[in-house]
Structure 1
Amino acid sequence: MPIYEFKCLECNEYFEILVARVDEDVDMACPKCHAENFERVMSSTNYAMGAGGGASSGVKAQTRQCSSGSCTTYEVPGMTR
């Protein structure tokens, strides 16, 4: 079951959508403002083993120039090692 991550372009909320089946009818809207204007963000997997893991605070964005114009990379909060 894939989990897709999105960023709402209206309110900047990050949210996930779990898709259990290919033929499943999924509500594709921001859970905060209910807008349907969002973009998919790259998911990153984090693992923490034993003690010493902690959550980072806030979303960080890095924008740079690339061949198609400008590209933005988002670092979303989560567990780190």
Structure 2
Amino acid sequence: MPIFEFRCLICGNVFEKLFNTRQEEFVALCPECNAEYLERVISRTNYIMGSSQGGDKTKLTSKSCSTGNSCISFEIPGPE
């Protein structure tokens, strides 16, 4: 069940919406001012880069995606 964050472009309120299914309909209104002008916000994570208890480290892999651009992928240690 994904949780998305939204920011109201009128009053600046940031709020979350939990979706139970992909097909769930969402009435896009700010709960503070009822404005319909919202933008999706990229949520912060609470993952800390570094060693885990087992000593494994996050592995960053950089590769070329297209001419002049690169992409980075993260391999985060954890249970398989």
TM range (shorter): 0.5 to 0.7
% of aligned pairs identical?
Answer: 51
Query: Partners in 1 of 2:7 and 2:34 — Cα distance?
Result: 12
Question: CA RMSD, aligned part only?
Answer: 1.6
- Contact 2:28 2:38 survives alignment (8 Å): no
Provide the residue aligned with 1:32 in structure 2. 32
**TM-superposed deviation, 1:6:** 0.9
Query: Partners in 2 of 1:16 and 1:26 — Cα distance?
Result: 12
**TM-superposed deviation, 1:36:** 0.8
Query: TM-score, normalised on structure 1?
Result: 0.53
Q: Give structure 2 stretches of 5+ with no counterpart.
A: 48-80
Runs of 4+ in 1 over 3 A off after TM superposition: none
Q: Give structure 1 stretches of 5+ with no counterpart.
A: 48-81
Larger Rg belongs to:
2
Provide the residue aligned with 2:12 in structure 1. 12
Query: Partners in 2 of 1:40 and 1:26 — Cα distance?
Result: 13
